[in-house]
Amino acid sequence: MAQATTPNRRFNNPADALAYRSQWNGECLEFTGHLDRHGYGKMHVRGRGMLAHRLAWELEHGEIPDGAVIDHRCHNTSCVRVAHLRLATHKLNMEHQTRAHHGNKSGVRGVYWQAQRRKWAGQVRHNGKSHYVGLFEDVADAETAVIAKRLELFTYNDSDRTGVDHDRPHRLGADSPAL
For residue 166, name the pLDDT band (cuts at 50, 70, 90). very low
Instruction: Work out the angle at residue 145's Cα, subtended by the Cα atoms of residues 70 and 163, and round it to the nearest 5 degrees.
Output: 55
The helix/strand/coil state of 126 is strand
Tell me which CATH code domain 14-95 carries. Answer: 3.90.75.20
Residues sharing a CB contact under 8 Å with residue 136, sequence separation 6 or more, in sequence order:
119, 120, 121, 122, 142, 145
pLDDT in tens, 32-73: 999 999 999 999 988 889 999 999 999 999 999 999 999 998
Indicate whether 2 pLDDT > 80: no
How many angstroms separate the Cα of 62 from the Cα of each of 56, 65, 85, 115, 148? 10, 9, 14, 50, 37
| pLDDT value at residue 165 | 39
pLDDT in tens, 93-103: 887 777 777 77
The helix/strand/coil state of 175 is coil
pTM above the 0.85 mark?
no
Q: So where are the chain's domains?
A: 14-95, 111-153
pLDDT in tens, 101-132: 777 888 888 899 999 999 999 999 888 899 99
How many angstroms separate the Cα of 102 from the Cα of each of 81, 106, 108, 143? 27, 11, 11, 17
By C-alpha distance, which of 110, 113, 84 is closest to 98? 110
